[in-house]
A and B are shown apart, each in its own frame.
Chain A
Amino acid sequence: MPLDTIRLNETPEGVDLGLRVAGPAPRALALAADGAIRLVILLALSPLSALSGLGLGLNLIAVFLLEWLYPVTFEVLYGATPGKRAMGLLVVHDDGTPVGLSASLIRNLLRVVDFFPLFYGVGLVCTLVDRDFRRLGDLAAGTLVVHAQRRSTGARAGRTHAGGTPAPPGLPIATQQAILAFCERARRLSGARRIELAETLLAHLPSPATGPARARGWAAVEQVEGYGTWLASGRAGD
């Protein structure tokens, strides 16, 4: 079984949702960013100290609110604190649903334990040991920190060509997906590699009973891209 950081979660409809769990490195950076944001807010409030006793009290209240409510508020309202958002992370329940108030409260209350003895030492060890990179708060609340879904980049297959070549029947779904991905990622691959990949695919397909011999070189690339166009239009069009 090859290793991956995707956790599949089956919905009642039988659809597998892939959650891409986030490891300690991006989470540490998000934590540092959140700490910096809180520090800036506290520094901005520091002139209040001029009001002697009252100012000090207000400052302490601000520290309390920031420390305890800042993560909960952002997680419940937006799914992630600003630091996590900047890193493209999201907090979700371990079944993939958006995190709720109680889970968020639990995981943030337990930050005290994860913080021990110094700068999230326990939390770090826990994320290194756990299979889904969860710290104690996540384990208690049943939450995961995952990479948010990226928006699809690169060219869409099938938009550049008018027609397409019908793909051989009986292609496995994985191969169809790979052909579409090939069309989308073509720009980032070198020419020689594109030819090599296209020839690999055609060599593994059965040769057509009639018609010309197997295409080589750029003709092979064009043929595979034709398959991609055909597959894409078959799905999106009529």
Chain B
Amino acid sequence: MDLDRMSVVLRPRGPWEGIDLGFALGRAWFPTLWGLWWCSALPVGLLALPLCGARADWWLLLLWWFKPLYEAPLIWWISRSLFGERSPLGRAWQLQRAAWTRHLLPYLLWRRLAARRSLNLTIGLLEGLDGAALRQRRRVLGDGAGAAWLTLICYHFEAILWGGLLLTLVYLIPTGLPEGLAGLDLGAALTDSQSWPYWLSGGFYLLACSVIAPFYCCAGFALYIGRRTELEAWDLELAFRRAAPDATAGAPEKGAARPGRRGSPRTAVSAGLLCAAVLAAWPGPPVGADPLPPLPAPAPARALIAEVLADADFGRTRTESVWTYIGPDEETAAPDPTWLKDLADFAVFLGRLVKGLLVVLAVIAVALLIRRILRDWQPGAWRRRRPARRPAPAAPESLGADADPDAAGLARAVRARLAAGDPRGALALLYRGSIGHLGRRGLRIPDGATEGECLRLAAGHPGTGDLAPLRHLTRDWQALAYAQQAPDPERIAARLDDWLRWTGSAAPAGEPRVPAGSDADGR
């Protein structure tokens, strides 16, 4: 027996909890078990039909009596699949051959009415004992197992389902139908075994049996498993087998290492969010062979992160006002003085006046509006009169901006910016120049690509030359743009030299100009 492949959690359970586990198993495996039940019950039912002379009551009794016959393959299947070995429904006949042993015989004869059938059938089928050994085994395992209650309850469940189906059908048939079609005769359905309502109700009962049977068998099996877990401490055996000490945990008392503990999804999500927030200010993963040293997170970056996290998108406070009745006010109880009455009359007069004025104003407004509409109304006029949409101002440092293809001119511009004490502008210009250069080398950069994606695309593109200058430049640019870390001018000058060498080495003259990030080149 391989406890490691157990498909339920082993722990000591009371009988009721064991039955609950069985019902959960029955729910999880219901389709297969249900099909398996019918695989055995249908042939028996068809065989029994001529045997009992097509009398519905005898037929139903016969089918009911042979219930253990249909339950045995279920128990066999459950015992296999509990240890992770799922036989498909297509092998139903093999399952039945394996389950229909001579140990089943007592349950079809003198033990048929035993209340602990679910548990005892499981013991008899799975342990294959005989005589005194079997009796002793039944006594030990059946002690306080609640199997009799299970059988009683499941009979009632069957009855409830059967009655519920029958009653629902009766409720659904409309009254006042012509003779012959008129409602299902409940009396005949219960007593007259020659009538078609009786056959219908028998069919419903069989359906109810088939629905309850998987739960019944699983619950009996779970009782068996629970009792053996209690007697033989299977759960402890499993825990002891996994007892290899954690070499990394220095202090076991602290509970630092808890293998098997379920990771909480909420913590995972919040940790992921935090990581994402930090990583947004962090350069993308290095693409090439030489990994660059990671940037430290300085105070400005932390301040920026705090600012981003303080944004309304990450959580908000809402104030709600409600009216609550706090009881009558004592002052209103005092008798009204006459001047108050006069004031009220005046207020009413004022109100009427204002109302009249408002009505007049409204009429005038509507009239003006109609006049205006009539004057302006021309089909399609509104479309022409709408102001032309202004193009959004281009972001000065956007990636896809067309750059000056002339390397020398760009170098001049960069030096001018550096001289003017504008390192950000210089670096931005240089970076734009690089992207433009990549574009001229035939690299298509989609709109909205990040710096890291540009770098990755460039690495996968032939003919861009050695990417190390671009990689360093990108890193510097990211540090400046996202972490407010401006490099010193000498470093920018060095980057410019690198860049000139790169463009000079890789760019042949006379190349057609292809603006980076443009989609208009029709490829």
Which residue numbers of A lie inside 8 Å of B, CB to CB? 2-6, 8, 10, 14, 16, 20-26, 28-29, 87-88, 117-122, 124-125, 128-129, 131, 133, 147, 150, 167-178, 181-182, 185, 188-190, 193, 197, 200-201, 204-206, 234
Contacts and interface: CB of A to CB of B under 8 A. Distances in A.
Given A23-B24, A170-B252, A147 B241 contact: no
B402 interface: no
B25 interface: yes
Contacts of B8: 2-4
Interface in B66-83: none
A171 B243 contact: yes
Nearest to A10: B264
Interface in B221-255: 230-233, 235-237, 239-250, 252-253, 255
Contact of B230 (A5, A16, A188): A188
A5 B17 CA distance: 8
Given A6-B9, A133-B23, A168-B245, A124 B157 contact: yes
B368 to A, nearest CB: 55
B158 to A, nearest CB: 10
A102 B261 CA distance: 35
B316 interface: no
B258 A172 contact: yes
B239 A174 contact: yes
Interface stretch (B161-169, B298-306, B387-395, B461-469): B161-169
5 contacts: A25-B20, A175-B239, A190-B231, A197-B236, A206-B244
A147 B232 contact: no
A25 B258 contact: no
A4 B236 contact: no
A65 to B, nearest CB: 26
A120 to B, nearest CB: 7
A150 B20 CA distance: 16
Given A117-B167, A204-B243, A125 B233 contact: no
B237 A87 contact: no
Interface in B206-222: 211, 215, 219
B149 A29 contact: yes
Interface string B246-284: 111110110101111110101100000000000000000
A87 B16 contact: yes
Given A170-B246, A177-B239, A14 B264 contact: yes
Interface string B460-490: 0000000000000000000000000000000
- Most chain-B Cβ atoms within 10 A of its Cβ — which of A177, A185, A190, A234? A185
B314 to A, nearest CB: 19
Given A119-B160, A124-B157, A172-B243, A23 B252 contact: no
Q: What is the predominant secondary structure among interface residues of chain B facing chain A?
A: helix
Given A28-B153, A169-B252, A234-B253, A5 B160 contact: no
Contact of A125 (B9, B16, B161, B260): B161
B247 A174 contact: no
B12 interface: yes
Contacts of B240: 175, 178, 197, 200-201, 204
B16 A22 contact: yes
Contacts of B9: 2-4, 6
Give 4 closest A-B pairs by Cβ, nearest first: A121-B164, A178-B239, A23-B20, A170-B245
Interface of B: 6-9, 12, 14, 16-17, 19-21, 23-28, 149-150, 153-154, 156-157, 160-161, 163-164, 167-168, 171, 211, 215, 219, 230-233, 235-237, 239-250, 252-253, 255, 257-262, 264, 266-267
B6 to A, nearest CB: 6
B20 A172 contact: no
A176 to B, nearest CB: 7
Given A10-B264, A176-B252, A23 B19 contact: yes
B36 to A, nearest CB: 18
B17 A20 contact: yes
Given A5-B24, A197-B233, A197-B237, A205 B245 contact: yes
Contacts of B255: 173
- Most chain-A Cβ atoms within 10 A of its Cβ — which of B242, B243, B245, B249? B243
Given A8-B262, A174-B259, A189 B233 contact: yes
A215 to B, nearest CB: 14
A163 B12 CA distance: 28
A35 to B, nearest CB: 12
Contact of A118 (B6, B27, B163, B244): B163
B161 A124 contact: yes
Given A3-B28, A4-B9, A14-B267, 14 more contacts: A2-B8, A6-B9, A8-B262, A16-B262, A117-B171, A118-B160, A124-B160, A170-B252, A172-B249, A173-B257, A175-B240, A182-B236, A188-B231, A205-B244
Contacts of B21: 3-5
B163 A171 contact: no
A1 B246 CA distance: 23
Contacts of B215: 128
Contacts of A129: 27
B233 A121 contact: no
A125 B215 CA distance: 12
Contacts of A28: 153, 156-157
A129 to B, nearest CB: 7
Contact of B14 (A8, A150, A173): A150
- Most chain-B Cβ atoms within 10 A of its Cβ — which of A125, A131, A173, A174? A173
A118 B167 contact: yes
A2 B7 contact: yes
Contacts of B149: 25, 29
B223 to A, nearest CB: 11
A221 B241 CA distance: 16
Contacts of B19: 23, 25-26
A193 B27 contact: no
A24 B237 CA distance: 31
